Amino acid sequence: MDSSLTLDRRATEAPAAVVGAARERIADDRAMLRAAADLTRDLVAHRPAIYWADLLASSVVGYGAMVAAVMIPVTGWAILAGLVSVLALYRAGSFIHELTHFKPSAVPGFHLGWNVLAGVPLLVPSFMYEGVHNLHHARTRYGTAEDPEYLPLALMKPWTLPLFILVSLLAPVALLFRYAVLSPLSAVFPAVRKLTVERYSSLSINPEFRRRHPEGAARREWHWQETAASLWAIALLTMVFTGVLPLRAFAIGLMIASGVMVINQVRTLVAHLWENEGEAMTVTAQYLDTVNVPPPAFLPMLWAPVGLRYHALHHLLPGLPYHALGEAHRRISAALDMESPYHKASYPGLPVLVAKIARSTMVAR
């Protein structure tokens, strides 16, 4: 998942262009690309049992812990339950990334099941990512102004990083407004519909991105998902205003949802090095601008779940299922010598990555 944020690309200055040009000059490493493809041919099958078990377990734990956080008086146990709920629902929500990379037939019923269990309840139905995330993987779009999921954050001002994180705290409120207010209005007023589709219907971070109106089967999927999310948002607010849902329970739910969004935004912050200012990049350059946080680090299992700890590898092999990325990384790492660019995208953990990006923003321009 990615949260939307308005930051101006023009905050970057001349040296950013130098970095962008340098990235473009990185030639593709044919040995790495060939090894990645050849060594993983037998790992491409999606295993439905793993997907369903993982999603169901994450959902049960997440919602169960949310109920516990509401029912338990404000104590350390309630806080712990809230934290467990955040992490479990974050994991459940992260499957939206997998949905964009496989056909529904690969894991039958999973698209519908995910939307019912996570997408609609969390107000992030899959249409907000499907048809958007694939643009991020387009060879000529990555890192450019046409990439909905890219901003040269490392080349911006230092204050943009805390703003990037803090704005995600308000995401649940913004989503409630989008579905409880904008969706009904957009059904009546074409101008509101145009604005809603183009600006408020994608999980993106690029303020220049404008989404196209859906067509065909995508349009039908969009409509039922948006209708369900709108009805849920309206019902939720109605229950709060009528007293059916206690305000305390609603507030705890909002805090948990905000926690999910903040963790996802932190993960987004370190998913790339964000050092490209808009030039087209080779596949190897894109890989080196992206991040793996492999074992022995343990915490990435929590803040980069469902294969997101292997984000750079995912950019090399976007069709590989999340449960195969660990094995793929082991095979490729063992096959390529330490001089290969493959090893240069691996980092030891979150603090190192945050510090690296923070230092980049503070370089005099």
Tell me the pLDDT band of 5, cut-offs 50, 70 and 90: very low
Q: Which residues contact 3 (CB under 8 A, 6 or more apart)?
A: 167, 168, 171, 203, 205, 261, 264, 265, 268
The pLDDT, as a whole number, for residue 12 is 41
Is residue 128 situated within a structural domain? yes
Is residue 40 situated within a structural domain? yes
CA-wise closest residue to 156 among 2, 271, 8, 267:
8
Q: Which residues contact 75 (CB under 8 A, 6 or more apart)?
A: none
Query: pLDDT for 38-55, tens place per residue?
Result: 999 999 999 999 999 999
Is residue 4 situated within a structural domain? no
Report the C-alpha gap between 288 and 283 in whole angstroms. Answer: 9
Q: Is residue 21's pLDDT more than 80?
A: no
Q: Is residue 138's pLDDT more than 60?
A: yes
The pLDDT, as a whole number, for residue 16 is 41
Is residue 2 situated within a structural domain? no
Tell me the pLDDT band of 1, cut-offs 50, 70 and 90: low
Query: pLDDT for 238-285, tens place per residue?
Result: 999 999 999 999 999 999 999 999 999 999 999 999 999 888 899 999
Residue 207 φ/ψ region, left for φ over 0, alpha for ψ in the -120 to 50 degree band, beta for the rest: alpha
Mean pLDDT of 316-335: 97
Query: pLDDT for 144-197, tens place per residue?
Result: 999 999 999 999 999 999 999 999 999 999 999 999 999 999 999 999 999 999
Q: What does 284-329 look like in DSSP terms, one character per residue? A: HHHHHTB-B--TT--THHHHSTTTTTBHHHHHH-TTS-GGGHHHHH
Mean pLDDT of 132-141: 92
Mean pLDDT of 77-93: 98
CA-wise closest residue to 90 among 1, 192, 209:
1
Q: Is residue 20's pLDDT more than 50?
A: no
Is residue 291 situated within a structural domain? yes
Residue 191 bridge partners (DSSP): none
Report the C-alpha gap between 126 and 144 in whole angstroms. Answer: 24
The pLDDT, as a whole number, for residue 350 is 96
Query: pLDDT for 56-76, tens place per residue?
Result: 999 999 999 999 999 999 889
Is residue 1 situated within a structural domain? no
The pLDDT, as a whole number, for residue 9 is 44
Instruction: Assign 286 to helix, strand or coil.
Output: helix
Instruction: Give pTM, 2 decimals.
Output: 0.92
- What are the φ/ψ torsions at residue 132 (nearest 5 degrees)? -115, -50
Domain limits for position 196: 9-361
The pLDDT, as a whole number, for residue 6 is 42
The pLDDT, as a whole number, for residue 24 is 46
The pLDDT, as a whole number, for residue 290 is 96
Is residue 302 situated within a structural domain? yes
If one counts the domains in the chain, the total is 1
Percent of the chain with pLDDT over 90: 88
The pLDDT, as a whole number, for residue 277 is 85
Is residue 3 situated within a structural domain? no
